[in-house]
Structure 1
Amino acid sequence: MTNRKKPALGVFVYFAIAFALGTYFTFAAVQGNFGLFSRAEIEAEADALQVQLDLLNTDIAVMENLTRRLSDTYLDLDLLDEQARSVIGLLRSDEIVIR
């Protein structure tokens, strides 16, 4: 005669809760606000913003160079002549304009 015992209901509940919590935390680790997918999106956005920052820093350097070249302490006559021609439309007396 075999006397079989039924497994306790508490064991099934315990494993069901453990499985549910494990599943929830695994899902949160992959797709949650601080999960792997979010981290990949943030890193891609950071790379794109770094590229934009580098372009803006290059533009700032060009502008600073032009500003320095037109400052009172250092005057670049070629740049001044170029700006006078493009902005004001000045010409020298020995130049001929062809339209």
Structure 2
Amino acid sequence: MVSRRRVRGILTALGLYVVAGALISYFGFHAFNGQRGLHARHQIDLQMTELTADLERLKAERVQWERRVALLRPDRIDPDMLDEQARILLNLAHPNDLVMMVKPR
């Protein structure tokens, strides 16, 4: 009888340690690999860095386009910009222009 109680006590303690270890492993695994874990946080930081760089590039492109559009406003048209746009749209060249035909790569 005494040995059964001792074995039962050892098995009970061992079972509690196994359950506690399983719970710690489960929560530790999900803390690293879960939807909001450390790995996901690193991926979000990388994505945020890429999107920030893309945003800066798009802001610079927008400023450039705003400058070009401002040159075509009716109240202050830039003659060079008007000439460039007309030649592009009408596919024309000035008689004094040198036109070079280049094969596409």
On whether the aligned pair clears a TM of 0.5, the verdict is yes
Normalised by the length of structure 1, the TM-score is 0.77
Distance 1:81 1:97, change over 3 A: closer
RMSD (Å), alpha carbons:
2.3
Say if 2:28 is the partner of 1:45.
no
- Pick from 17, 20, 27 the counterpart of residue 18 of structure 1: 20
Q: Distance in 2 between matches of 1:98 and 1:63?
A: 28
Shift of 1:90: 5.2
Deviations 1:8-51 (A, max 9, x none): 13322221111111111111111111111111111111111222
Compute the displacement of 1:87 (Å): 2.4
Q: Which amino acid aligns with 1:50?
A: T
* Deviation at residue 96 of structure 1 after TM alignment: 2.5
Q: Paired residue for 2:38?
A: 36
Structure-2 separation of matches of 1:86 and 1:73: 22
TM-score, normalised relative to structure 2: 0.73
Higher fraction of helix: 2
2:6 aligned residue? 6
Is the partner of 2:74 in helix, strand or coil? Answer: coil
Instruction: Determine what percentage of the aligned residue pairs are the same residue.
Output: 28
Which of 58, 61, 68 matches 2:60?
Answer: 58
Q: Which 5+ residue runs of structure 2 have no aligned equivalent?
A: 100-105
Q: Is the 8 A contact 1:28 1:35 kept in 2?
A: yes
Deviation at 1:74, TM superposition (A): 2.4
| Number of aligned residue pairs | 94
In structure 2, what residue type is equivalent to 1:71?
A: R
Structure 1 unmatched runs, 5+: none
Describe the SS at the equivalent of 1:80.
Answer: helix
